[in-house]
Amino acid sequence: MIFSDKYNRYSQLAPIVLGLLLFSVIFCACNNAAKTEKEEKGPLKVVTTTGMIKDIVQVLGGDRLELESLMGPGVDPHLYKATQGDLVKLTKADLILYNGLHLEGKLVEIFEKLAKQGRAVYAVTADIDKSKLLASEDVENKDAYPSDPHIWFDVSLWMEAVEAVRKALIKHDPEGLETYNKNAGAYQARLGDLHKELKVMIGSIPEQQRVLVTSHDAFRYFGRAYGLEVRGLQGISTVSEFGLKDVADLVGFISKRRLRSVFVETSVSDKSLRAVVEGCKAKNHQVAIGGTLYSDAMGAEGTPEGTYIGMVQHNANTVVEGLTP
């Protein structure tokens, strides 16, 4: 009797148990499907053009992302053409970040085409107020370069690029919101400090020597932000050639101002500046190569100069040492 009672009770419970089982099977299946989809999709694939932009994404996203930059150390973005491998990377990317303002002159068409296809392609300079941009002084290339693209050397402008990257990452990977916001907050604070430090450092150079002579005009934003006069042998792009007259003009200027140093750049040939140094010597003014600056590309990965902050600090140290008696 007891046995059959038990049996009766079990038979009453059976539909409930069955229901629960069915529910859990369906629930698990759905859950697995969602998981598989996410696992298949993997982390957000981000491709940047320059190392400087890659560095922002690295700082903000860290391990959440799959990250690659097209241009490595020492690469000149003005002249850079996409390789077949680059096109494959760009096709597979979930998010493409580039500098804009025609820095990557030979890639613009590709980016415009991808954007038209509805792909996530952003210029990190797009939201910067036009009034903060320097107009190009490059008469020859005025149409191609209405604005000077080298905004990363004014740290306060680069902070706006960091903000643009933060927004793009959150839009395309909303689950990482907390990580991106936390990392961006800490990084912006560091950049704010760096901006102040640079003003003090450059301000320590004797006023007469506060002139930065380089191969091409990559440092006009740096000069404006931190109080240096800037002269380049080539315009803001390395696409245009410099002429003998440019060399003679610069030699005259350096000799007249009795400048101690001129500076070569890692991504531009130093041939042109060596001609300037020789020219000064002929005019009885000894000017030294004050060191190498990182202009349009960062240093080797794993070195301090392989990060944006390290690169800017290296440049500032080199300039202060080269120009201070």
Q: Applying CB under 5 A, which residues contact Zn ion? A: 218, 296
Please, are residues 173 and 64 in contact by the beta-carbon 8 Å criterion?
yes
Instruction: Quote the least distance from Cβ 295 to Zn ion, whole Å.
Output: 6
- Contacts of residue 315, defined as CB under 8 A and 6 or more positions apart, other chains included, come to 153, 222, 293, 294
What are the strands of the beta sheet with 288-293, ordered from one edge? 229-234, 211-216, 261-265, 288-293
Instruction: Quote the least distance from Cβ 239 to Zn ion, whole Å.
Output: 10
Between 44 and 268, name the residue whose CB sits nearer to Zn ion.
268
Between 255 and 267, name the residue whose CB sits nearer to Zn ion.
267
Please, are residues 312 and 194 in contact by the beta-carbon 8 Å criterion?
yes
Cβ atoms within 10 Å, residue 104 = 24
Rounded to whole angstroms, the Cα distance separating 207 from 101 reads 32
Instruction: Quote the least distance from Cβ 214 to Zn ion, whole Å.
Output: 10
β-strand partners of 254: none
Instruction: Quote the least distance from Cβ 212 to Zn ion, whole Å.
Output: 14
Instruction: Quote the least distance from Cβ 235 to Zn ion, whole Å.
Output: 9
Between 228 and 280, name the residue whose CB sits nearer to Zn ion.
228
Cβ atoms within 10 Å, residue 196 = 11
Instruction: Quote the least distance from Cβ 78 to Zn ion, whole Å.
Output: 5
Cβ atoms within 10 Å, residue 50 = 25
Between 173 and 296, name the residue whose CB sits nearer to Zn ion.
296
Between 218 and 319, name the residue whose CB sits nearer to Zn ion.
218
Between 46 and 218, name the residue whose CB sits nearer to Zn ion.
218
Long-range contacts of residues 273-280, Cβ cutoff 8 Å, at least 24 apart: 273/213, 273/214, 273/215, 273/233, 275/247, 276/213, 276/233, 276/247, 276/250, 276/251, 279/247, 279/248, 279/250, 279/251, 280/251, 280/254, 280/255
Between 209 and 214, name the residue whose CB sits nearer to Zn ion.
214
Rounded to whole angstroms, the Cα distance separating 7 from 82 reads 75
Residue with tokens 């990250």: 67
What φ, ψ does residue 217 adopt, rounded to 5°?
-75, 70
Between 267 and 307, name the residue whose CB sits nearer to Zn ion.
267
Rounded to whole angstroms, the Cα distance separating 106 from 111 reads 10
Between 141 and 188, name the residue whose CB sits nearer to Zn ion.
141
- 158: tokens are 């680069």
Instruction: Quote the least distance from Cβ 218 to Zn ion, whole Å.
Output: 4
Instruction: Quote the least distance from Cβ 275 to Zn ion, whole Å.
Output: 20
Instruction: Quote the least distance from Cβ 238 to Zn ion, whole Å.
Output: 6
